[in-house]
Chain A
Amino acid sequence: QSVLTRPPSVSAAPGQKVTISCSGSSSNIGNNYVSWYQQLPGTAPKLLIYDNNKRPSGIPDRFSGSKSGTSATLGITGLQTGDEADYYCGTWDSSLSAYVFGAGTKVTVL
């Protein structure tokens, strides 16, 4: 059972927007940086967002991250079929002295 809670799945039509929430506590999201990862089927995870809202080089601006209090959100606009993947939030937990991942959210493009 992860210390970070998230919706198991979200879906939307092509071109639409989806948001994925990740909820934690003051020991993790509330006081540490949040990252988001995209895992396409059969591949290694890829860093999508780091430091709450920054995109690595090569990540399109359709992907955005935000954090407020003990929750973080990943937004995907202009949804494409190639965005179908599992998305994970991750952050440091100061109480556990451990890096923790959310359980993953499956994005389906209808």
Chain B
Amino acid sequence: QLQLQESGPGLVKPSETLSLTCTVSGGSISSSSYYWGWIRQPPGKGLEWIGSIYYSGSTYYNPSLKSRVTISVDTSKNQFSLKLSSVIVADTAVYYCARLPRVFGVLKSSDYWGQGTLVTVSS
């Protein structure tokens, strides 16, 4: 059974960089059928896709966050990571990692999700 687990600091100061890692178990991150991505949800609000990465390193980013986001992959550790720079209070959210099936370069859905981790931006 595929499992995804987020890890990283739960508190980040404004203007600093938020860093999270997702560890994938029960399956290979190097599968040709999937992208791997980050999705966030501010308290009481809806879901926002942040970006996704293929095992080769190819990425898609949300245009509204693109200037501040970097997603990377480490196939040797079966992990992928998120860095969000220059964070503000509005970046406070539950951050989920997820697997996204792909077809012809298009992401179809998010079929497996991590449990999520709350990251609070506060001084």
Chain A interface (Cβ < 8 Å from any Cβ of B): 2, 32-33, 35, 37, 44-47, 50-51, 56, 86, 88, 90, 92, 94, 96-104
Contacts and interface: CB of A to CB of B under 8 A. Distances in A.
Contacts, number: 69
- Chain B binding surface SS class: strand
Interface of B: 37, 39, 46-49, 52, 60-63, 96, 100-101, 103, 106-116
A101 B49 contact: yes
Contacts of A101: 39, 46-49
B95 to A, nearest CB: 11
A56 B111 contact: yes
B108 A51 contact: yes
B111 A44 contact: no
29 contacts: A35-B108, A35-B109, A37-B47, A44-B113, A44-B114, A45-B47, A45-B96, A45-B110, A45-B113, A47-B110, A47-B111, A50-B108, A56-B111, A86-B46, A88-B47, A90-B47, A90-B110, A92-B108, A97-B63, A98-B60, A98-B63, A99-B37, A99-B49, A99-B60, A99-B110, A101-B39, A101-B49, A102-B46, A103-B46
